[in-house]
Amino acid sequence: MDTTQLLKGVLDLAVLAVVDGDDGYGYDILKRLRARGLHDIGDASVYGTLRRLYAAGALTSYVVPSESGPHRKYYGITAIGRSQLKQQRDDWDHFAATVSGLLAHTSEGIAS
Amino acid sequence: MTITPVNNQHEISEFVLAVRARLVDLPAEDQLDLTEGLEADLVELVDERGLEALGQADEYARELRLAAGLSAEATGPSPRASAPRWMPFLDSSRDWALGALPGRSADFAEVLRPTWWVFRAWLAVKILAGMSGHEEGVIPDLGGPLFGLVLFVLAAVISIKIGQGQWWPGNRAKTGQRTLLLALNAFAIVMVVPILVMSNQQRIEWVYTESDPSSQLSYNGVPLGNIYPYDAAGNPLIGVQLVDEQGRRLTIDAGSTSPIEGGVEMGLVPWLNGSTELFSVFPLAHRQIDDSGNLTGPIQLPAPPYANVGAVNMEGVTPSLLVTKPVKGN
């Protein structure tokens, strides 16, 4: 199954989840997502999502001068972001349970 | 986490430039949001996964735009296309310049930024002082005591706040503001040499003035031939050393005066401090000058113009006592 399409639907939730409680810069957030199993995620997709969440007020951002080279842009979660995270987590749990329940009634699901 | 300098800085800068070029239809603020910090992230990416991890700028920009909730492709040049293009160019130029610095020079450049902020404030004050004709001094007074210093401190605070992005134009500067700041910085850099040369010339002129014959002791513009000090009782003194309020010796130019006594050309004879000749001890003695210009013959102390100039006093001040015993020479 092509997980790319699935991923697009939950990217906001995934990004908010890994930023919650621990600010990070773009590449750092990308690595957190990959470390937690989302290996196929695209770099630019994460950066674009960060920008969109920032524009929506779910994330805050600040620039930190680097010890060498160009400056880093960090993102942190806001109150709006936390609220969004909670809402989307509930939605996901509900959705996942619904789909799991649906699949449990298929022949393969009943057999197992 | 620190970024280790990579050798692929040029390729990374090119990639960032190419991505930015595909965002030019967006408002400058959106472009900044999407690409600020991008270069730092890509440096780390390439450092870990190699240059091939960069991929195609076209595809990258497309994915970035879609994920950000924008149209996948640039919608053609907007009426303000020329302005947004300038911002990525500024960003890329800055990043390229920092990336092109060898070794840890970029760190050094970063450390030097506050120094530059203060220095450009000083330049601004010097330029202002030059325009108002009060350019004297490292911190010019600008016509009033401490006025120049206060202005410099004020200018330094403003300059630092601008440098930190806290005041105008801030971290989200519009194209015009950023260009104006760039132009002001460029103007300051251009003015560094003229201002330093101007300051240096003033110093050189000052030094030069000290040895200029016109700065020798004079009366109504005419150089003095000698000085005859008297004590408070009005009696002539011999061997009085004169210095000004800054401790500089008040000197008579030996070369410019050749008193004639009885048809014989006489030269001034300096007093000696060890082997140092002093023309700042009075009265100066005379000695005959021979045909080849050498001082010759006995040293003669010229007679003072008056045997006594009359006693003087000042309330509450005790004058020096007249030295009656001659000091033996070496």
Selected residue with higher pLDDT from A50 and B26: A50
Which residue is listed with tokens 């991890």?
A: B53
Question: Is A5 an 8 Å CB contact of chain B?
Answer: no
Q: What's the rounded Cα separation, in Å, for the pair B2 and B44?
A: 9
What per-residue confidence (pLDDT) applies to A91? 93
Prediction ipTM score: 0.82
Average pLDDT, chain A: 87
Percent of chain A with pLDDT over 90: 57
* CA distance to A19, A97, B45, B239, B286, per residue, from A27 (Å): 12, 32, 7, 83, 88
> Does pLDDT of A85 surpass 90?
yes
Residue B318: which region, alpha, beta or left (left: phi > 0; alpha: psi -120 to 50)? Answer: beta
pLDDT along chain B (330 residues), means of 10: 59 87 83 85 86 86 87 60 59 68 68 86 85 74 78 90 76 71 86 78 49 64 84 88 87 66 76 87 85 79 86 87 56
pLDDT per residue as tens digits for the range B52-67:
888 888 889 988 888 8
What per-residue confidence (pLDDT) applies to B176? 75
What per-residue confidence (pLDDT) applies to A4? 73
> Does pLDDT of A71 surpass 50?
yes
Say whether B2 and A28 touch across the interface (CB within 8 A). Answer: no
**Token pair of B113, please?**
């930024």
* B residues 63..122 contacting A (CB < 8 A): 63-69, 95, 98-99, 104, 106-107, 110
Q: Mean pLDDT throughout A59-80?
A: 85
Q: Kindly list the residues from chain A whose CB atom is less than 8 angstroms away from the CB atom of residue B42.
A: 27
Question: Is B29 an 8 Å CB contact of chain A?
Answer: no
**Token pair of B292, please?**
């080849």
Q: Residue B39 in contact with residue B95, Cβ under 8 Å?
A: yes
Say whether A43 and B43 touch across the interface (CB within 8 A). Answer: no
Q: Dump strand ranges (E) for chain B.
A: 218-219, 222-223, 240-241, 260-261, 264-269, 271-273, 276-278, 281-282, 285-289, 295-300
Q: What's the rounded Cα separation, in Å, for the pair B54 and B11?
A: 9
> Does pLDDT of A1 surpass 70?
no
What per-residue confidence (pLDDT) applies to B302? 84
What per-residue confidence (pLDDT) applies to B2? 44
Q: Residue B254 in contact with residue B240, Cβ under 8 Å?
A: no
Q: What's the rounded Cα separation, in Å, for the pair A82 and A19?
A: 10
